[in-house]
Amino acid sequence: MRRVALLFTAFLAMVSASYAQGKPDNAPYLGQRSPGRVPSIFAPGVISKGNIHSRLVISPDGRAMFWNTFNMDAGTVQILCIRNVDGKWTDPQPPSFAKDGNTQSPMFAPDGKKLFFEIQTEKGWATKYAEWTDAGWSAPRNDGILLNCSSSFTRTGRAYFSDKMKTKTWGTGIFSARYSAEGYSDPKPLGASINVPNAIDYTPFVSPDESFLLFSSNRPHIGDKEDMHICVSFNLGKGAWSAPKRVVDIPARFPSLSPDGKVLFFCGDDGNIYWVDIAVIESCRPASISPGVKP
């Protein structure tokens, strides 16, 4: 095992060095070849270094990526960012609003202008946001909206998120609510096909058109294992969702989609971001539902 670990470390160093020589340039996804139907590590040695515990969040224009690292020994978390500036990808570094203290869970508002995140204060975790300007990131602000750190949004502004549910292992279920400038309204738990008693179901990510929902779950090992995998459920209309299916066999959490909807990203239990073609989701789609159509 030690030899394998050393070889993998050497591989990451080699890949990282190739990126440092300017290989990514102006190409999307840091110059990497688009993934196929077999998941592979995304940006090894640059973004993926075995210390990630979050989803990968990509700006609507594809020119910035955000994630947060976790230092288990120190008990700290920090948001990192990589940006495409003048045709070159920068080195990963904390954005200005996340340089001090613990920060986590970056996520864009439905319009793609605000970047929400959580920051640890003396009173606990608080939700704030920053906006990108010609001068860089604005100072962190708090508009009073208490967003859940697991939120994701549809184009029309509906939010999907994890929240307290007594019947669930870890005490969290999956909900949806209307999001607006006033905050969440009309929160509702999803139905029985999603919120199975005693199961672990969390870190939901909804497709922008609300046609399917991704989340991490320990099913079918309900009640006895914390073996998490990415599942997908399709919108059947009128609040109903199809029976979830496992998308990939890699133990993972924190799913997300690329801005163009062609790539699925997720965080493996090894602390690396993986990516795979969206075809793995389409292969799970019920025959009765047409692709890209919300019932």
- If you ran DSSP here, which 8-state letter would residue 250 be given? S
Which domains does the chain show, CATH number per domain?
2-282 (2.120.10)
Burial (CB count <10 Å: 0-12, 13-18, 19+), residue 207: buried
pLDDT the model gives residue 23: 43
Is the predicted pLDDT of residue 25 greater than 70, yes or no?
Answer: no
Residue 193 tokens, joined: 């096909």
Residue 288 tokens, joined: 């009765």
- If you ran DSSP here, which 8-state letter would residue 75 be given? T
Sign of the dihedral through C-alpha 28, 99, 140, 105: positive
Is the predicted pLDDT of residue 91 greater than 90, yes or no?
Answer: yes
* Reported confidence tier of residue 109, pLDDT bands at 50, 70, 90: confident
pLDDT the model gives residue 224: 59
Cα distance between residue 214 and residue 291, in whole Å: 15
Q: Minimum mean pLDDT among 53-62, 170-179, 217-226, 255-264: which range?
A: 217-226
Q: Minimum mean pLDDT among 34-43, 88-97, 102-111: which range?
A: 102-111
Which H or E run includes 128?
strand 124-133
Give yes or no for a contact between 197 and 167, defined as CB atoms under 8 angstroms apart.
Answer: yes
Cα distance between residue 212 and residue 72, in whole Å: 33
Q: What is the mean pLDDT of residues 73-85?
A: 94
Q: Which residue has the higher pLDDT, 197 or 90?
A: 90
Give yes or no for a contact between 61 and 108, defined as CB atoms under 8 angstroms apart.
Answer: no
Residue 162: Cβ within 10 Å count: 22
Task: Provide CB contacts within 8 A for 235, sequence distance 6+.
Answer: 210, 211, 212, 213, 241, 242, 289, 294, 295
Cα distance between residue 221 and residue 219, in whole Å: 5
Is the predicted pLDDT of residue 58 greater than 60, yes or no?
Answer: yes
The string of DSSP codes covering 259-278 is TTS-EEEEEETTS-EEEEET
Antiparallel, parallel or unpaired: β 212-217 and 183-189: unpaired
Is the predicted pLDDT of residue 5 greater than 80, yes or no?
Answer: no
Residue 192 tokens, joined: 């029985």
pTM, two decimal places: 0.88
Distance of CA 55 to the CA centre of its chain: 3
Cα distance between residue 119 and residue 101, in whole Å: 7
Q: What is the mean pLDDT of residues 263-287?
A: 96
Distance of CA 43 to the CA centre of its chain: 16
E strands of 18-62, at which residues?
Answer: 40-41, 57-58
Which H or E run includes 164?
strand 158-164
pLDDT the model gives residue 7: 43
pLDDT the model gives residue 18: 42
